[in-house]
């Protein structure tokens, strides 16, 4: 079990990330955008990836020192801080700023992946976020990923999974999520795994 800097069980990483992380090569360069307190960065660091985390919360990033290259930036107000850089994977969870979608897609290197998951239309009927600014509309991620090869896409309702390690509770939510690849090599094989399936085992 991963521990936070205070010794308590760390928040669990995105299950969408865990489900598709097997597609990433060893040592892949990964950008975790809007990484917050680093629940995904900590898990990825344990897998040996080369990490860059971007967030506007300097205090949250300070707690992640030593596990990733850390960039404090408010991209809703300031210029994109990683101009010209490309990554083997760009990861975004629970964040939406529509003007930035083309930049995030463009930051995926050839053969790399966009792994994106956030709240979708319908969430306003059960809780927060409720503003349309923060909720993906049907098919919106597919439109954003035009030009990439879509490996997996889901748009629907996820039931809560109850109490998690550390006392966290995964609440019910409406989500939209995608895994898409830029210019995959010829005859690329994207091994499909069921949710919670063991590494290397394809779904039937």
Give me the pLDDT at residue 6, please.
45
Residue found under tokens 């083309």: 102
Instruction: Report the SS3 class of residue 40.
Output: helix
Radius of gyration of the chain (CA): 16
The CATH code of domain 15-181 reads 3.40.50.150
Q: Which residues pair with 70 in a beta bridge?
A: 53
Residue 63 CA to residue 8 CA, distance in Å, equals: 14
Check: CB of residue 142 under 8 Å from CB of residue 178: yes
Secondary-structure percent of the chain, ordered helix, strand, coil, rounded to 5:
20, 30, 45
In the chain, count of helices (H) and strands (E)?
Answer: 5, 9
Instruction: Report the SS3 class of residue 155.
Output: strand
- Pairing type for strands 162-163 and 169-170 reads antiparallel
DSSP 52: E
Record the pTM.
0.89
Give me the pLDDT at residue 187, please.
86
Domain ranges of the chain: 15-181
List CB contacts of 82: < 8 A, sequence separation 6 or more. 31, 52, 54, 71, 107
Give me the pLDDT at residue 198, please.
59
Grouped pLDDT means (10 residues each) for the chain, 204 residues: 46 93 96 97 97 97 96 96 98 97 98 98 96 96 97 94 56 96 92 73 43
Give me the pLDDT at residue 3, please.
41
């Amino acid at each position: 079990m991963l521990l936070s800097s205070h010794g308590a069980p760390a928040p669990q990483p995105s299950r969408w990330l865990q489900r598709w992380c097997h597609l990433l090569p060893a040592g892949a360069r990964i950008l975790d955008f809007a990484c917050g307190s680093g629940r995904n960065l900590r898990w990825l660091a344990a897998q040996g990836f080369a990490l860059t985390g971007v967030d506007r919360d300097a205090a949250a990033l300070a707690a992640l020192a030593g596990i990733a290259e850390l960039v404090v930036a408010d991209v809703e107000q300031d210029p994109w801080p990683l101009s010209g850089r490309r990554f083997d994977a760009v990861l975004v969870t629970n964040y939406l700023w529509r003007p930035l979608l083309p930049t995030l897609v463009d930051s995926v290197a050839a053969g790399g992946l966009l792994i994106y998951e956030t709240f979708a239309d319908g969430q306003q009927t059960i809780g927060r976020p409720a503003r349309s600014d923060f909720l993906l509309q049907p098919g919106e991620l597919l439109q954003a990923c035009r030009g990439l090869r879509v490996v997996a896409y889901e748009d629907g309702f996820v039931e809560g999974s109850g109490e998690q390690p550390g006392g966290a509770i995964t609440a019910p939510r409406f989500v939209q999520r995608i895994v898409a690849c830029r210019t995959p090599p010829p005859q690329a094989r994207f091994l499909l795994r069921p949710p919670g399936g063991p590494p290397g085992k394809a779904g039937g």
